[in-house]
Amino acid sequence: MTMDDNKLTFEKITADLTHHIRINKGFVIWMGFLTVSLLACLFAYSLQLRTGLGVAGIRDYVTWGLYLSNFVFFVAASLIGMLVSAVLGLIGMKWITPITRIAETIAVAFAAVAGLVIVSDMGRPERLAYVFIYGRPQSPILWDVTVIVTYFVLSLMLLYLPLIADMAIIHNSKVAIPSWLRSIYKRFSLNFTDSPEQNRIINRSIRVLLILLVPAALSIHTVTSWLFAVTSRAGWDSSIFGPYFVSGAFVAGSAAVIIAMFFFRKNYKLENYLTDLHFNNMGKVLATVSLVYLYFNINEYLVPGYKLKRADAVHLQELLAGRDALLFWMVQIGGLVIPILFLLFRRFRKPVPVLVISIAVLIAAWFKRYLIVIPTQEHPFLPIQHVPQNFVHYSPTLIESMITIAPFILVLIIITLISKFFPVIPLHETAVEKGAEHIRFE
């Protein structure tokens, strides 16, 4: 931290971190755009509800198509909350303070929507409750539902707790925020006055939640990987699928956080808080988790490739040199190897280059889920006979693609709302860390 930072006064920090909290034209246009797009996608979904899953490209061979790969992606992206807040936070990394709320927001948004993504893959969504009523405790699907709900609640609480002090500060300050928002702040800041007992409760709760978050996050993505790994299909039949998925999730999540950091820094003028140091460090985090992921990738492909069991051979052939080869190599090289190489250099961990790299990584991460979920289903162990050609090779339909885009729009809406109406960067913590005097709660 430079000397300059330290001179920031409490008033300045408060003003800097809250000036975006107002309804302006840009926000209205952006939300309008998101809403209209969402409505278009919901219309596509209404077609699916009316006519059935046949409107999607999924058939007897590929029964898990875009929806399921999208689901895996969403669960993956939500894991970042745990990496930033819990792992980096618990080992005492101080620089993450301004990033924690961004990471938690992303976690909450993606976890909340992941459940909906699954519903889009259901032919009879009104029977969702049957999962609980008739679910078998032996089924990873029941475990998955349980851990995702738990993780979502933990993330939501971790988003909320640090906000209590922030909301108390803001609603008592002269900062001009809409009056309806001020009353929400008042209500949810729980009369926080920075008393020692109050702080004790909040700090202890955060600590306990952070500790709980680690196993919960590991579980959600491990269990999601088991949805695949407990079958004996080539490409899924793997004992390292858990760590493979978890490390891949950190890659996608880190990239998402970097993109969000860049956006908030620019639009909400947070250059003094989200500095090059943060981009540099997040770049390092991204490089590290990508290396771990690369390591698992090598294991995932090299070991079956060496043994070349019959089904694995067909699967690997298609991935490495067949129909899916172009996508596969673009994802592996463009989305993993090249980003790692670039990220090793400090110059590429500056905000703009690291943003570009993160966008490439995030897109590749989505297609990676596609490659994990879909190709192996195109060559089942038992041939399915007498089916039309379009059953054999999967190609998503337009309606299906729109239903796949809808969750992204929802995530953007959630992130936009949270970031618009609350400080993106923890106000109280930042003020304390920067040594600002006269932090006022009344």
Partner 1 sequence: MGFKKQVFLLLLLSVVTGTRVSAQTWVVPDDQKAVVAPMKFTPDMQKQGEQVYLKNCQSCHGLPGKDNWAKLTPPPGDLAKEKAQKQTDGEIFYRITTGKIPMPEFRNIIPEDDRWAVIAFLRSFNPKYVQPAPKALAAFTGRSVTLEMQYSDPMKKIVVTAHEKLKDNSNVPAAGIEVLLSVKRYFGSLQVGEMRTTNARGEATFEFPADLPGNNTGNVDLTARVNDPKSQMKTTPATGTFAIGVPTDRPGLTETRAWWSTRGNAPIWLLLTYTLSVIIVWGIIIYIVSSILKIKKLSTHG
CB burial of residue 248 (10 Å; 0-12, 13-18, 19+) = buried
Q: Which residues contact 54 (CB under 8 A, 6 or more apart)?
A: none
Contact with partner 1 (CB under 8 A) among 19, 37, 205, 299: 205
Span of 115-123, 205-213, 293-301, 412-420 interacting with partner 1 by CB under 8 A: 205-213
The length of the chain in residues reads: 442
CA distance 107 to 432: 25
Question: Considering the rule CB under 8 A, would residue 325 count as an interface residue with partner 1?
Answer: no
Contact with partner 1 (CB under 8 A) among 25, 50, 94, 136: 136
Per residue in 218-227, is it b (16+ CB within 10 Å) or e — as a string? bbbbbbbbbb
Contact yes or no for 378/392 (Cβ under 8 A): yes
Contact yes or no for 18/177 (Cβ under 8 A): yes
Question: Considering the rule CB under 8 A, would residue 209 count as an interface residue with partner 1?
Answer: yes
Q: DSSP string covering 363-400, please? A: HHHHHHHHHHHSGGGGS-SSPPPS--HHHHS----HHH
Question: Considering the rule CB under 8 A, would residue 306 count as an interface residue with partner 1?
Answer: no
For residue 135, the minimal CB distance to partner 1 (Å) is 7
Question: Considering the rule CB under 8 A, would residue 154 count as an interface residue with partner 1?
Answer: yes
Unique residue bearing structure tokens 């009523």: 133
DSSP letter, residue 440: -
For residue 269, the minimal CB distance to partner 1 (Å) is 32
Q: Helix 310-320 vs helix 276-307: angle between axes, to the nearest 10 degrees?
A: 140
Site string for partner 1, 403-442 (x = CB under 8 A): ---------------------------------------x
Half-sphere exposure of residue 315: CA atoms within 13 angstroms, side-chain side: 26
Question: Considering the rule CB under 8 A, would residue 386 count as an interface residue with partner 1?
Answer: yes
CA distance 198 to 14: 21
Q: In terms of CB distance, is 2 or 232 closer to partner 1?
A: 232
Question: Considering the rule CB under 8 A, would residue 392 count as an interface residue with partner 1?
Answer: yes
Phi and psi for 415 in degrees, rounded to 5?
Answer: -65, -40
Contact with partner 1 (CB under 8 A) among 35, 46, 183, 195: 195
Helix, strand, or coil (residue 360)? helix
Contact with partner 1 (CB under 8 A) among 54, 123, 178, 435: 54
Contact with partner 1 (CB under 8 A) among 6, 183, 193, 267: 193
Question: Considering the rule CB under 8 A, would residue 46 count as an interface residue with partner 1?
Answer: no
Question: Considering the rule CB under 8 A, would residue 395 count as an interface residue with partner 1?
Answer: no
Question: Considering the rule CB under 8 A, would residue 78 count as an interface residue with partner 1?
Answer: no
CA distance 15 to 96: 21
Question: Considering the rule CB under 8 A, would residue 210 count as an interface residue with partner 1?
Answer: no
Contact with partner 1 (CB under 8 A) among 186, 280, 288, 322: 322
Span of 1-9, 18-26, 28-36, 189-197 interacting with partner 1 by CB under 8 A: 189-197
Question: Considering the rule CB under 8 A, would residue 203 count as an interface residue with partner 1?
Answer: no
Q: DSSP string covering 409-426, please? A: HHHHHHHHHHHHHS-SS-
Give how far Cα 416 sits from Cα of 20, 93, 120, 324, 422, Å: 12, 27, 23, 35, 10
For residue 90, the minimal CB distance to partner 1 (Å) is 16
Question: Considering the rule CB under 8 A, would residue 146 count as an interface residue with partner 1?
Answer: yes
Nearest to 423 by CA among 159, 195, 202, 210: 159
Contact yes or no for 146/215 (Cβ under 8 A): no
Site string for partner 1, 213-242 (x = CB under 8 A): ---x--------------------------
Question: Considering the rule CB under 8 A, would residue 2 count as an interface residue with partner 1?
Answer: no
Contact with partner 1 (CB under 8 A) among 94, 174, 307, 388: 388
Span of 42-50, 85-93, 268-276, 385-393 interacting with partner 1 by CB under 8 A: 385-393
Question: Considering the rule CB under 8 A, would residue 197 count as an interface residue with partner 1?
Answer: yes
Contact yes or no for 375/62 (Cβ under 8 A): no
Question: Considering the rule CB under 8 A, would residue 175 count as an interface residue with partner 1?
Answer: no
Write out the residues near partner 1 by the rule CB under 8 A: 51, 54, 134-138, 143, 146, 150, 153-154, 157, 161, 164, 190-193, 195, 197-198, 201-202, 204-205, 208-209, 212, 216, 313-314, 317, 321-322, 386-389, 392, 442
